[in-house]
Amino acid sequence: MTDKKKLVASDFVVISAVNDIDILNNCLARSEDIRNGDLKLITIDGATSMARAYNDGLDRTDAPIVLFAHQDIYLPRGWLDRALAVLEALTRAHPDWRVAGPYGVQPDGLHAGRVWDVTMGRELGTAGFASAPVGALDELLLILRNDGSYRFDADLPHFHLYGTDVVQQALADNRSAWAVELPLVHNNRPIESLRGGYASAYAYMRRKWRRHLPIPTAVCTLSRNPARLWRAQWRRRRVVARPTGLLADAVTVARNAGYE
């Protein structure tokens, strides 16, 4: 993609790592742009890490704009048209951008974005916010400007913090990363624990980006201070994931939120 080429719907593709077909069918695959064929969906099964899954997806497409989407998000009716306009504007204003998303954390720790969080039962962020430069993006949806130069770090373990890694790599390459207003529904089941896979990814990222710490993220600030992760884990001690069968109706949530 060049800055002079106007984006069209066929420039977009969605890649999603799937481990629950019911969640996919009730959320992401119900998005009208995907159902009507305007937005191509590529699914990756059997992923051992999200970075490797997404690299597998990149091997399957040369689309200029790649959307890396969680299976539990829903894109409201008209989302693709809005994305075309928002990303065209972003390209005019910041032609160096590499990655964007609907929710992120700025370098000063302030959050920027607009998504409906089903578990919390409320909207995170505000309508009408200006596109904001970020140091980390929430992984629910990453929008990559795909010129063939970026690959996810296959050594990053498990399924966490790759939204921070892609942003930090963009900044290291003198590219930019942005939170943009593209509201969607996150029919999520929250992380119950920051031990295990999250802790492994956290340790890897802390080593990799040690010269840039601290880096605020949506869950826990990456820091040399181990107490940061301990405190974040303590705050989540009563978190219980919703069973799959209790997924909200994503279309109804989107309508009630005013997204479609």
* pLDDT tens sequence across 1-38: 444 678 999 999 999 999 999 999 999 999 999 999 99
* Residue 5, pLDDT score: 79
- Give CA separation, 108 vs 111, 126, 133, 154, 162, in Å: 9, 18, 10, 28, 19
- The alpha carbon of residue 154 and the mean position of all alpha carbons in its chain are separated, in whole angstroms, by 17
* Residue 113, pLDDT score: 97
* Residue 181, pLDDT score: 98
Is residue 97 classed as helix, strand or coil in its secondary structure?
strand
φ, ψ of residue 2 in degrees (nearest 5): -110, 165
Give pTM, 2 decimals.
Answer: 0.92
Strands 103-105, 111-117: parallel, antiparallel or unpaired by DSSP? antiparallel
Which parts of the chain have pLDDT scores under 50? 1-3
Amino acid at position 198, single letter: Y
* Residue 13, pLDDT score: 98
- Give CA separation, 64 vs 8, 127, 211, 236, 251, in Å: 10, 27, 31, 38, 28
* Residue 1, pLDDT score: 41
